[in-house]
Structure 1
Amino acid sequence: MNSTAKGDRPHIAVFGRRNVGKSSLINKLTNQNLALVSSQPGTTTDPVYKAMELLPIGPVMMIDTAGIDDQGELGEMRIKKTKEIMRKTDLALLVISVVQGAGEFETELIREFKERDIPFITVLNKVELLDPEGKEQAPVLEEFDRFFEKHELEFIKASAEAEINIDLIREKTAEKMPQDHSRDTIMGDLIEPGEVAVLVTPIDSAAPKGRLILPQVQTIRDILDHDATALVTKKAEVSSEINKLKKKPKIVVTDSQAFEMVSKEVAQDILMTGFSVLFARYKGDLNTFVRGAKAMDKLKAGDKVLVAEACTHRRQKDDIGTVKIPNWIHNQISPEIEFEHVAGREFPDNLEEYALVLHCGSCMLNRKEVLSRLEEAKKVGIPVINYGIAIAWLHGILDRALKPFPEALELWQQDQIEVKQEEIEEVV
């Protein structure tokens, strides 16, 4: 369970007001004291993440969020972080307390869930506090019935304290979890059992000492899971290693930074692509990123490009996102293109200020968050391109990098035709 990458786990986030019992519910659902519990409102400040096993689903990422009714300037910041969590939420638990009732805060959360297409389960918590004789219980429940009927919702009466209906919440969670929270395979559909995939993994200053980076490890595992063979080599040896094989490999996958060199070394009749291109498909939507390549043709002096990286690694002097790609774009398009950078969970609201979003491979993000970012950019009409696709475009080999993906290749070639037609029309 612990070996499952965070970005491949379904993300279950718990939302609600302060002191409705969100943390207590997480602890009961997981049978562990994962979240700090206190009667003091606002105990949970920043979102708390915990990778763990939740039966019957399996490995998941549980997220405990700050109360949506937090107060003051600091409270507003906590609420903003809570809403940012929605970008990555595959399934939400909306917790409402019988003590505090339901109103505008819950209505706003429900609206956000529906707008973002997040499936959710509504839990009416602390039912153990209702009058056991039933004198007060009926009017209270009637009030909640009216609220839930208004929003066309079902709800589960539960108690984290008394462990009422905890198993039912687990069952409903498994039932409502989207089946497409991640793609089934990174490249299992590109190779057949017994075929060989050559993986070119440069060992440079950015490579973690003694380890391979996550996309490389996950790709190797995916190849083995599909009964194929992974041959791992450095870029200087790729040609000699291929020549040693009795049969040509089905595909060569390279670190995107080595695209140009590897493309020259690998015969044209062998498929070739990059890890970053694979992950554009695995974590997001390949066609959307390919459409971003069309925007590369239109970049001009004075444009601003947002570079978004999912991790906060220590940057090297030849860092790919802050140095190499900007330098290539400056040299090939214009030295007057501006770059701004965000990292980790940051993703700005002012996307309309940019001509293009240049996004990393997203190995540290789950698919829901990548798709959410793409949707936010789409709403304001800003194209998004992935590192690997951008590098292939800059080196003139995007056609080859997309050859393993016929639909995306056709889209790119059609975009090229449209760009040429637009250029002709401008001249005329």
Structure 2
Amino acid sequence: MQKASLNETPTASRLHIAIFGRRNAGKSSLINAITNQDIALVSPVAGTTTDPVFKAMELLPIGPVVIIDTAGIDDEGELGELRVKKTYQVLNKTDLAVLIIDGMTGVTDYDLEILGRIREKNIPVVGVVNKCDVAGYTPEDKKNWEKRLNINLIEVSALKRQGIEELKREIINKAPSSISEHPLIGDLISPGDIVVLVVPIDKAAPKGRLILPQQQTIRDVLDHNAIAVVTKETELKNTLSSLARKPRIVVTDSQAFARVAQDTPRDIPMTSFSILFARYKGDLAQLVEGVKAIKNLKPGDRVLIAEACTHHRQEDDIGTVKIPRWLRQILGFDVQFEWSSGFGFPENLEDFKLVIHCGGCMINRKEMLYRLSLLKRRNIPVVNYGVFIAYALGILERALEPIPEAALLFSSES
């Protein structure tokens, strides 16, 4: 498997462009034409693409994007229904949709259905007629289909790679100007400030590299012309005493919260990567508000611990070991824990009295907000790892101080 380059933009920070259409409309062929690579499997057999396929690439002048190939929206049978369900789930992380109409068969109810769902989510959409070179297709067909869909259609032949440049221009025109207007740490610091980042190096740390939240925070500090000082929790005291001036803020991995809070003087603001990401990726206010639900839990209540990615579990894993242990200690009794990871939440979401979600570093902001909206609509409280851990250790108020609006919300909830 090809390893990611050190200078690659993380997938979660890329514009997500999803390709939708019926089976054999030419979705995979179109992706190959757009990327000028044979990255998607192409076959005349309907239903070749069974699961969403994600491909990171550069699309100038937009920059780094993720192209998502999806299964046909008209797939059939029991397995076909599951594939269609996964295709619709892709909408939850889509920043820009490309809808392909088959030039041989025209607009169908399937196309109208997916277009309706795209519009419900206020996702910008680019319409395409593929196979415009086939016998029998006429420009009059395109006009009729545009009226029925109420969108403009670009004529392409993915097989002959015709109309691809025009399609790229339309994608560029329709792409959201910014997929992440929300700050990570840049608005909390000023040029020249010192930011101390505490990065534990233990058996849970990936060999030879830092995890994404740490990398992205360092980059954001440098982008705002501040100074990033990286240290381990065991060296924090020495690091702080060796600095010629007081740092603007200390940011720590949540698992080192207790020691970092103890070793950081009270006049130096302190927070965690996970809390910064809660604000950057989602709705920090909703996550802070979810804390009050912890007090309302009763013996036997069901708690979901949700992670957005799958990973190898360590012996003292944060999600399966530490968080359940902390929650039991807070409550003084036992509750039922369930776990989910990867693509989405379990079907029985209403059964849970609380959701504890990971920091979401591997999913984009759109998907994180979608997950939070699902919980809000069902009145299910949610906290994330960083907020929960700070609360469990009795330092949430301090960890929120650098973000006044969140600190105010917590003090009013306390």
Report the Cα offset of residue 404 of structure 1.
1.0
Q: Which of 334, 337, 351 is the equivalent residue of 1:353?
A: 351
Report the Cα offset of residue 139 of structure 1.
5.6
Q: How far apart are the structure 2 equivalents of 1:405 and 1:176?
A: 34
Q: Which residue of 1 aligns with 2:59?
A: 54
What do residues 137-158 of structure 1 show as CA deviations (whole Å, max 9, x unaligned)?
266345414412xxx3232232
Q: Which residue of 2 aligns with 1:291?
A: 289
Report the Cα offset of residue 193 of structure 1.
1.4
Once the two structures are superposed, the pairs formed by residues 321-360 of structure 1 within 5 Å of their partners are 321-360=319-358
Closer, same or farther in 2 for the Cα pair 1:194/1:104, shift >3 Å? same
Q: Which of 77, 93, 97 is the equivalent residue of 2:82?
A: 77
Report the Cα offset of residue 63 of structure 1.
0.7
Q: Is 1:45 paired with 2:43?
A: no
Secondary structure of the 1:13 match is: strand
AA matched with 1:124: V
Q: How far apart are the structure 1 equivalents of 2:73 and 2:370?
A: 21
Secondary structure of the 1:69 match is: coil
Q: Note if contact 2:146-2:152 (Cα within 8 Å) is conserved in structure 1.
A: no
Q: Note if contact 1:56-1:171 (Cα within 8 Å) is conserved in structure 2.
A: no
Structure 1 outlier segments of 4+, above 6 Å? none
Secondary structure of the 1:371 match is: helix
Q: Which residue of 1 aligns with 2:272?
A: 274
TM-score scaled by length of structure 2: 0.94
Q: Which residue of 2 aligns with 1:140?
A: 141
Report the Cα offset of residue 175 of structure 1.
1.8
Report the Cα offset of residue 115 of structure 1.
2.2
Q: How far apart are the structure 1 equivalents of 2:157 and 2:409?
A: 52
Report the Cα offset of residue 414 of structure 1.
2.0
Q: Which residue of 2 aligns with 1:28?
A: 33
Q: Which residue of 2 aligns with 1:377?
A: 375
Secondary structure of the 1:302 match is: coil
Which segment drifts farther, 8-17 or 177-186? 177-186
What do residues 236-274 of structure 1 show as CA deviations (whole Å, max 9, x unaligned)?
221221011111100000111111221111111111000
Once the two structures are superposed, the pairs formed by residues 173-212 of structure 1 within 5 Å of their partners are 173-183=171-181, 185-212=183-210
Q: Which of 3, 12, 18 is the equivalent residue of 1:7?
A: 12
Secondary structure of the 2:387 match is: helix
Q: How far apart are the structure 2 equivalents of 1:35 and 1:307?
A: 34
Q: Which residue of 2 aligns with 1:240?
A: 238
Q: How far apart are the structure 2 equivalents of 1:68 and 1:359?
A: 30
Q: Which residue of 2 aligns with 1:320?
A: 318
Report the Cα offset of residue 202 of structure 1.
1.1
Residue segments in structure 2 that go unaligned for 5+ positions in a row: none
Q: Which residue of 1 aligns with 2:109?
A: 104
Q: How far apart are the structure 1 equivalents of 2:208 and 2:152?
A: 51
What do residues 338-380 of structure 1 show as CA deviations (whole Å, max 9, x unaligned)?
1110112232233211111111011111111111111111221
Report the Cα offset of residue 67 of structure 1.
0.6
Which segment drifts farther, 49-58 or 178-187? 178-187
AA matched with 1:75: G
Q: Which residue of 2 aligns with 1:154?
A: 152
Secondary structure of the 1:321 match is: helix
Q: Which residue of 2 aligns with 1:419?
A: none
Q: Which residue of 2 aligns with 1:63?
A: 68
Residue segments in structure 1 that go unaligned for 5+ positions in a row: 417-428
Q: Note if contact 2:129-2:142 (Cα within 8 Å) is conserved in structure 1.
A: no
Q: How far apart are the structure 1 equivalents of 2:140 and 2:253?
A: 63
AA matched with 2:121: R
Q: How far apart are the structure 1 equivalents of 2:142 and 2:168?
A: 23
Q: How far apart are the structure 2 equivalents of 1:363 and 1:145?
A: 39
Aligned residue pair count: 409
Q: How far apart are the structure 2 equivalents of 1:283 and 1:399?
A: 21
Q: Note if contact 2:96-2:125 (Cα within 8 Å) is conserved in structure 1.
A: yes
Q: How far apart are the structure 2 equivalents of 1:142 and 1:190?
A: 52
Report the Cα offset of residue 95 of structure 1.
0.7
Q: Note if contact 2:189-2:248 (Cα within 8 Å) is conserved in structure 1.
A: yes
AA matched with 1:231: V
Secondary structure of the 2:208 match is: coil
Identity %: 53
AA matched with 1:92: A
TM-score scaled by length of structure 1: 0.91
Report the Cα offset of residue 185 of structure 1.
4.1
